[in-house]
Amino acid sequence: MLQNRVSPRDQANFRSKLRTLSVEICLVLAIALALFIAPGAASHAFAEGDITHIVKPGESLSTIAARYGVSVSAIAGYNGISNPNLLRAGQALRIPGTTVSPAPVQPQYPTPTTVSPDNSSNNASVPTNNKAYPQPTPTPYIVDPNRPRPTSTLVVATRVPSTPTVRVHVVTASDTLTGIANLYGTSAWAIKARNGLTDAPIYRGQKLIIP
């Protein structure tokens, strides 16, 4: 009796909804399985540019925030986490304010084209000039015979004889020729000969030249 009340159209709709529900369940299970299989996978970017971080064992929200340079409250609010102390390994966290920079595009420059003189197809557009120009002749250096030449002056150094130092001793009351000779390291005879003395005694105030 129940089978007669369900039309074939309703049965087809039920089977279609059942297949759709099965596909959605399989998709959710596949995503969850991928997250748990690779708990230590590196961060990857979403389509809008945000970075998602997979929580590793031993990580906390504060260490993750310090790694990306954001605050704990920003990550918690961005991911709808009410208790920041409750994290599980393998949990995916979206990091606010971080984007993945695209790879820089290398500029492409046109390849320079080398024109060969043997290429007859390009000779019409490239002007050639095979005319030989005479090379300038260097001007020789001519010495003017009337120009006076510099003369060199020979400077001869002459030695000026130095004036000998004359030592003069003024005789005191207690001086003798022998004592004066011993004082200057000479002899009494040399002092007498230098000053033209005879056997006459010396006197106080007399000036004697010491040889």
Mean pLDDT over residues 188-210, rounded?
A: 87
Q: 8 in a domain, yes or no?
A: yes
67 in the same domain as 20: no
Q: Assess whether pLDDT exceeds 50 at residue 166.
A: yes
In a domain, 4, yes or no: yes
For residue 104, what pLDDT band results from cuts at 50, 70 and 90? low
Indicate the residue among 74, 99, 124 that finishes a domain: 99
Q: Which of 162, 154, 183, 185 is nearest to 171 (CA)?
A: 183
Residue 5: predicted pLDDT:
65
**Predicted local distance difference test score (pLDDT) of residue 200:** 74
Q: Number of folded domains in the chain? A: 3
Average pLDDT over residues 70-80: 89
Q: Are residues 8 and 43 in the same domain?
A: no
Q: Is 68 contained in some domain? A: yes
Segment 43-53 shows an average pLDDT of 59
Q: Which of 48, 77, 99 is the last residue of a domain?
A: 99
Average pLDDT estimate for 56-80: 90
Rounded mean pLDDT of the chain?
75
pLDDT above 90 as % of the chain: 9
Cα distances (angstroms) measured from residue 194 to each of 7, 153, 208, 211: 167, 46, 9, 7
Query: Considering the domain boundaries, does residue 21 fall inside one?
Result: yes
State how far the Cα of 9 lies from the Cα of 11, in Å rounded to an integer. Answer: 5
The answer to whether 81 touches 61, Cβ cutoff 8 Å, is yes
In a domain, 206, yes or no: yes
Based on the domain organization, do 29 and 48 belong to the same domain?
no
In a domain, 11, yes or no: yes
Distances (CA, A) of 14 to 5, 8, 9, 10, 30: 14, 10, 9, 6, 24
Residue 17: domain span: 1-37
> In the 8-state DSSP scheme, what is residue 46?
-
Please check whether residue 68 is in contact with residue 119, taking contact to mean a CB–CB distance below 8 angstroms. no
Give me the mean pLDDT over the 59-70 stretch: 90
The answer as to whether 112 is a domain residue is no
For residue 140, being part of any structural domain is answered with no
Confidence of residue 43 (pLDDT cuts 50, 70, 90): very low
The residue among 206, 202, 195, 204 whose CA lies nearest residue 172 is 204
Residue range 108-164, pLDDT digits in tens: 666 666 555 555 444 444 455 556 666 777 766 666 667 766 666 676 767 766 767
Model pLDDT, residue 64 = 92
Shared domain check, 92 and 46: yes
Locate tokens 């309703």: which residue?
A: 10
DSSP secondary-structure letter at 208? E
Q: pLDDT-derived band of residue 54, with 50, 70 and 90 as boundaries?
A: very high
